[in-house]
């Protein structure tokens, strides 16, 4: 079974990495799809985000990293996945993620969305929180993989 895990991953957090590890065990293959979102100004380029994920997942079996723009269901169709994976940190995420899942099903009913809850100790993490901590020179080593922590220091110092 193959899963698609779409997101901006700007930056990749330990919560994202936890989901990738767990999903690789559950599904065997996981495609991490890094989205290019023209409505946002990313901290890291698309290529750099791919490098972060590649480095952080190099010891996890069954991980493929791609980039895409456009609709998630089109990406899922192209890569012949079985499910779309979405992470949940808190109840507040559920409403938004459920809306996205319903939208995706309305566009193509062939795809199911599977929600995975993050480990409790990662539930506070979001890319926005990590960037805010880094912006004010706070420590991010416990929030992100080492390669990302180094890049955050470089960008925000």
Let me know: does 78 contact 66? Beta carbons within 8 Å.
no
Is residue 81 classed as helix, strand or coil in its secondary structure?
Answer: coil
CA nearest 52: which of 127, 128, 137, 156?
127
| Ranges of residues in the chain whose predicted pLDDT is under 50 | none
Total domains in the chain come to: 1
Tokens of 4: 């698609």
pLDDT value at residue 101: 96
Active site members: 16, 40, 89, 127
Instruction: Give the percent of the chain with pLDDT over 90.
Output: 88
> How far does CA 143 lie from the centroid of its chain?
14
pLDDT (0 to 100) of residue 23:
96
Q: Which domain holds residue 118?
A: 2-156
pLDDT of residue 39: 78
Predicted confidence at residue 92, as pLDDT, reads 79
- Number of Cβ within 10 Å of residue 43's Cβ equals 19
| The pLDDT of residue 157 | 85
Q: Which residue has the tokens 């994976």?
A: 85
* Rounded Cα–Cα distance for residues 2 and 31 (Å): 8
């Amino acid at each position: 079974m193959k899963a698609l895990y779409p997101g901006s991953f700007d930056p990749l957090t330990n919560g994202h990495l936890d989901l990738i590890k767990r999903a690789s065990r559950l599904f065997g293959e996981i495609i991490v799809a890094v989205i290019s979102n023209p409505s946002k100004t990313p901290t890291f380029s698309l290529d750099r985000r791919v490098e972060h994920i590649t480095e952080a997942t190099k010891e996890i079996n069954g991980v493929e990293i791609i980039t895409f723009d456009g609709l998630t269901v089109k990406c899922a169709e192209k890569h012949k996945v079985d499910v779309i994976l979405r992470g949940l940190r808190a109840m507040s995420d559920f409403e938004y993620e459920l809306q996205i899942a319903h939208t995706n099903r309305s566009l193509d009913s062939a795809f199911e969305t599977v929600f995975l809850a993050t480990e409790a100790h990662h539930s506070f993490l979001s890319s926005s929180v990590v960037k805010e901590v880094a912006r004010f020179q706070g420590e991010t080593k416990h929030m992100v993989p080492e390669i990302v922590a180094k890049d955050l220091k470089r960008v925000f110092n």
